[in-house]
Chains A and B, each alone.
Chain A
């Protein structure tokens, strides 16, 4: 999937969808935030991010005025990994509204991404996983992360 940024306004909120691979070829254009009080970044369709992409992301996100409320939605695992590994990946005060958590079934080897939402599967720094995640055979799936590391960004928020 080619890199792309699409934005549209809903009232005083700018909703931005980013898709594709974030790398040296990604063209991060400045956001038109005039008259906006908040920016929502929907990251669900980001497929990959490399080291240069991380640098380009940080340069771009720093340009979002700190006076605006910045909300991050549907972070895929690769973005959560960057948030945890790279200080400054998210500006101070950015709010993560939702993110994906990988699950794995030992017997079938199936993987699944489960969306965790603020106020439901996480509140503040605490996690409240969904009761039962199953694979295509109905077998139970386990959270496939080292929890202390994967959810660290929530404690630091």
Chain B
């Protein structure tokens, strides 16, 4: 009797558009999809192999796992929605001070905005059906005492990585990925949620702007989402890159 086919944990692909790429994780259960026509394919594969050997290492220090060595690393801790302006303005100033292009700074800042919002507003209530979505108009939403989220950035010569972590570990990767996929399949407009908490297109905007997405979840303990942005490329070149995607769960 032939042995059942085992799905590779790293899928090496070429030319997949975002919806198809996401389908490989959602429907085919690959953990990593690296595209040969994506940014720094070989490095992306090495990172995937490293994560498969030590997923806890990624969740402990995702920037170190993704980049290995970096030219700089800056971190901002936050405990409430009130700190969003402070964190994002500081992040933008840091990037502009390092002479990254205006278009890249704007893209990174928007992704940071969406991830911050997710960490503060969505993460505390995700998977808890009895809790209502938190209105984005609510003046102040705070994490519990002793808990904090973190935005961090680091870069080497060819990649800038933005990471956002929260202390809840409540993200459901399947739901998150499916929501992004729907945005690409049906258009973002169809995904907008009129009432309640978020608008429903934040994850779509995040994946649209980065060239590689890492989703790491340690249930009940931490969620870490990392976005990779290619350096030394024009906006058009960045937009043309095929994407990589990774899903890590402890």
Contacts and interface: CB of A to CB of B under 8 A. Distances in A.
A52 B235 contact: no
Tell me the dominant secondary structure on chain B's binding face: helix
Interface in B86-110: 101-103, 106, 109-110
A48 B110 CA distance: 8
Given A51-B198, A51-B202, A104-B234, A87 B190 contact: yes
A106 B237 CA distance: 11
Interface string A87-112: 11100000000000010101001010
A49 to B, nearest CB: 8
Contacts of B110: 48, 50, 78
B19 interface: no
Given A86-B192, A87-B187, A111-B103, A50 B236 contact: no
A24 B194 CA distance: 13
A135 interface: no
Contacts of B235: 102, 104, 111, 144-145
Contacts of B193: 55
A8 B189 CA distance: 31
B106 A54 contact: no
Interface residues of A, number: 28
A68 interface: no
B75 to A, nearest CB: 22
B169 to A, nearest CB: 23
Contact of B188 (A50, A86, A109, A111): A86
- Range for the number of chain B residues in contact with chain A: 20 to 34
Contacts, number: 80
A89 B189 CA distance: 8
A24 B137 contact: yes
B236 A146 contact: yes
B189 A86 contact: yes
Contacts of B103: 77, 102, 111, 144
Nearest to B200: A51
Contacts of A85: 187-189, 208
A33 interface: no
Interface in A1-60: 23-24, 48, 50-52, 54-55, 58-59
Contacts of B199: 51-52, 54-55
Nearest to B137: A24
A48 B106 contact: yes
A48 B88 CA distance: 12
A86 B240 contact: no
Interface string A136-156: 000000111110010000000
A55 B113 contact: no
Q: Which of A50, A51, A85 has the most CB of B within 10 A?
A: A51
B114 A88 contact: no
B222 interface: no
B136 interface: yes
Given A23-B113, A48-B110, A51-B117, 10 more contacts: A50-B205, A52-B199, A52-B202, A54-B192, A54-B199, A55-B199, A59-B194, A78-B106, A87-B189, A106-B234
Interface of A: 23-24, 48, 50-52, 54-55, 58-59, 77-78, 85-89, 102, 104, 106, 109, 111, 142-146, 149
23 contacts: A24-B117, A48-B109, A50-B202, A50-B205, A51-B199, A51-B200, A51-B202, A52-B198, A54-B192, A59-B194, A85-B187, A86-B188, A86-B201, A88-B192, A104-B236, A106-B234, A111-B235, A143-B236, A144-B103, A144-B236, A146-B236, A146-B239, A149-B239
